[in-house]
Structure 1
Amino acid sequence: MVLMKMKFSFQKRVKLAQALWLLSWVATIGGAVTFSLGVFLKTELQRRSEVMDNTEIHAVPNTLMIVGLASLGVNFFAGRMCQDALDPSRFPRWKGLLQPYLAVAVFLALVMLVAIVMSYAMKGNLEASLKVGLKNGIRYYKDTDTPGRCYQKQTIDQLQMEFQCCGNTDFRDWFEVQWVSNRYLDFNSKEVKDCIKSNVDGHYLVDSVPFSCCNPSSPRPCIQHRLTNDSAHYSYEYEAEELNIYVRGCREALVSYYMGLMNSIGAGVLSIFLVQMSVLVSLRYLQTAMEAVAGQENTEMETEGYLLEKSVKATAKEFTDKVLTLLQLNQVQAVEGQAAEGQAAEATPEKPVS
């Protein structure tokens, strides 16, 4: 049973080819936009790679860049076919390439759809990556003299000021690590000695946060040291007063930023995907409508176009059978090759040992 059959007069075929030519160029521009969005997202992720623990989240921008580049070539190819479709004498030369082209175009459309789904589903991986990356970033904050970690302090400070956040989950994360380098501690001071002795690991742990956690919009001068000590500051209550430092964690801020970015990109790529599907459907109709004209003297005759020659189920079964046959053929060839190598090895006489 032919699926979604339509009749096309000569004028309709011309209009379809013209509309498809325009759509293919719109899709070509969409491919360039998809590639650009992938590059932009890749750049944004690379900017803060120091506070991310894995590279799995780069699968989204990498996929977008690959699909974008491939779409440029595929849709340019479609535009050339549409031009030749207006001349029935030139269109038959594309006949042998149309089936492979449609298969490649459908595959790219599916990959684009996967990229869209991934852009909405990467929140868990992104949050897990930032959780470990920010934890390590805070731990290495003081290591400004250690090769490979020299710029960790600068990265964290810029991050906290830019996203108006503090710590990993919240500002209390700074209470659990020694973020002040030993070179800036006076070990002759009784306060420093007592603080180090009170900790099992011998670290200098205090209820303080870096300056980058200070909220500049607060009317009160920043209180970044002894945050939990009410008596250390005038007219200050740690539990009741709204602190003049950022209370939101950087993981929450970054997840919100990147998911907003990915969701916006996903919506943009979805619109490009719809254009791409319109190109595929239109090209399939044009192909089937032009096949009836090939070799005919009356090129202005009315023809029929369709999406599938058989039902969806029958088409899927036929495709599956072809794939299985191809796989079995490859296996048989591999077995025959191994058998031939074995026979050749047995037929080779051994050299006598001198």
Structure 2
Amino acid sequence: MAVLKVKFTKTKRDKLAQILWILNWVSVVSGIILFSLGLFLKIEIKKRSEVMAKGDINSVPNMLISVGVIACIINFLGGKICYDCSDANKFSRWKLVMLPYIVCTFCFTFSILVGALMCYTMRNELEESLYLGLRDAIKFYKDTDIPGRCFLKKTVDLLQIGFRCCGNNGFRDWFEIQWVSPRYLNMASKEVLDRLKSNVDGKFLVDGVPFSCCNPSSPRPCIQYQLTNNSAHYNYDFLTEELNIWTKGCREALLDYYTGIMRSIGIAALLIWLFELSVLIGVRYLQTAMKNVLLLGDLEGESDGWLLENSFVETAKYNISIIKNLGKANQISTVSGINDPNINVQNTDCDKTNITTKSIPAAR
């Protein structure tokens, strides 16, 4: 029994073909939108690549870009097919192409759904990438004289100013690393030498942060050093001075930023998926209705259209049987040479098998 069977007159078939022709051109635009969203996300990730560890975070934008390009190609072809389907004589040219086209479109539509879901599942990978990338960027903040790292200081400073954040998890991350370059340390100073000797690794550690952590909305001049020493500053309590420096970590700030972008892209991709799915259903109805018209031979008469010719269970069983038969055919082809009557198999011992070919008399 056919699933969701609908009866179509010639007028309804013509209107459906015209509507699908228009919708396929709209789908070309949606493919361009998908491509643009993927390209935008890729550029945004590229902008912060210096504070991200290498990983699979580009899989989502690459997926969206690929699906967008495929959408333009498939829907352009679909528009041509639907335009010709308004004439039964022209449809005969596409009769053999329609079913493979629908199968390919179904796979492509499923890929859009996968891309939309990936926008919501890559948060963990992005968080790990940001954590490792920011950790290394802060670690090499002082290396302004080393090639390959000389721009990290500027990158981190602009990041902290732009996203109003400080450190990786928070401002205390700067207490655990030496972020002041040795070239700016006075080695003749007793205070500097004492700090270097007091650390096991010989690092110059201070309870201070770079200037980019300062909050310009603070009513007092920014306090960068001895942040946790209340007695070092007049009328100061580091637990209540929330406006002095940014307290949010850059990992959290960047994660919120990218999560917002991916959530918006995911919603757009889901809407495009629903739209493409509706177009696919319409094309399936048009294909089955036109196919039945040719079978009946009455081009002006009514015809039935459906999503599936049989029930879901019967269709699944039929497809599974096809897959099994293909597997058996491959097995038979691999051993067909052994069953050839012109080949004689002689076992000379337990470990060796000699294969000899019988002589075939020449044709007279």
Q: What TM-score, normalized by structure 1, do the two folds share? A: 0.92
Q: CA deviation at 1:103?
A: 1.1
Q: Distance in 1 between matches of 2:258 and 2:313?
A: 40
Please give the secondary structure, in 2, of the residue aligned with 1:316: helix
Task: State the Cα deviation string for residues 73-94 of structure 1 (Å, max 9, x = none).
Answer: 1111110011111111110111
Mapped to 2, the partners of 1:74 and 1:160 lie a distance apart of: 44
Q: Is the alpha carbon distance of 1:172 and 1:81 closer, same or farther for their aligned partners in structure 2, counting shifts above 3 Å?
A: same
| Residue aligning to 1:127 | 127
Change (3 A) 1:337 1:236: farther
Residue in structure 1 matched with residue 78 of structure 2 by the alignment: 78
- The amino acid across from 2:79 in the alignment is G
Aligned to 1:194: 194
Farther-moved stretch of structure 1 (291-300 vs 207-216): 291-300
CA distance in 2, matches of 1:171, 1:335: 70
Deviation at 1:158, TM superposition (A): 1.0
In the alignment, the residues of structure 2 paired with residue 101 and residue 243 of structure 1 have an alpha-carbon distance, to the nearest angstrom, of: 61
After TM superposition, list the pairs within 5 Å mapping 1:161-172 onto structure 2: 161-172=161-172
What runs of 5+ residues in structure 1 fail to find an aligned partner?
A: 349-354
After the TM superposition, which residues 26-105 of structure 1 pair with which residues of structure 2 at under 5 Å, given as runs? Answer: 26-105=26-105
Q: Is the 8 A contact 2:138 2:167 kept in 1?
A: yes
Hey, what does 1:214 align to over in structure 2? 214
1:182 partner letter: P
Shift of 1:268: 0.6
Instruction: Give the secondary structure class of the aligned counterpart of 1:90.
Output: helix
Amino acid at match of 1:293: V
- Cα contact 2:119–2:263 (8 A) shared by 1: yes
What is aligned with 1:262? 262
The structure having more radius of gyration, on CA atoms, is: 2
Show the counterpart of 1:308.
308
CA 347–139 in structure 1, closer or farther in 2 if over 3 Å, else same: farther
1:326 CA drift (Å): 2.9
Q: 1:264 to 1:226 in 2, by over 3 A?
A: same
- Over 3 Å counting, the alpha-carbon distance change for 1:338 and 1:104 in structure 2 is farther
Paired residue total: 345
Q: Deviations over 1:31-85 (max 9, x none)?
A: 1100110000011111111111132121111111111101111111110011111
Once the two structures are TM-superposed, the CA of residue 332 in structure 1 deviates from its matched residue by 4.7
Task: Name 1:181's counterpart in structure 2.
Answer: 181
Shift of 1:125: 1.2
Residue 116 of structure 2 is matched in structure 1 by 116
Query: Hey, what does 1:14 align to over in structure 2?
Result: 14
Q: 1:334: how far off?
A: 5.3
One-letter amino acid of the counterpart of residue 226, structure 2: R
Letter in 1 for 2:88: P
Aligned pairs (5 A) from 1:141-152: 141-152=141-152
The offset of 1:335, in angstroms, is 6.0
> Could you tell me how far apart the structure 2 residues matched to 1:337 and 1:235 are?
94
Residues 240-277 of structure 1: per-residue CA shift (max 9 Å, x gap): 33241100000110110001000000001111111100
Return 5+ residue gaps in structure 2 as ranges.
346-353, 358-364
Shift of 1:317: 2.3
Tell me, yes or no, if the aligned pair for 2:217 and 2:243 is still in contact at 8 Å.
Answer: no
Please state whether the residue corresponding to 2:304 is helix, strand or coil. Answer: strand
* Separation of aligned partners in 1, 2:335 and 2:216: 73
Range 296-305 or range 319-328, more displaced: 319-328
Counting aligned pairs with the same residue, the percent is 52
Match of 1:246 in 2: 246
- Whole-angstrom distance in 2 between the partners of 1:186 and 1:201: 18
Greater CA deviation, 147-156 or 134-143?
A: 147-156
Q: Counterpart of 2:313 in 1: which secondary structure?
A: helix
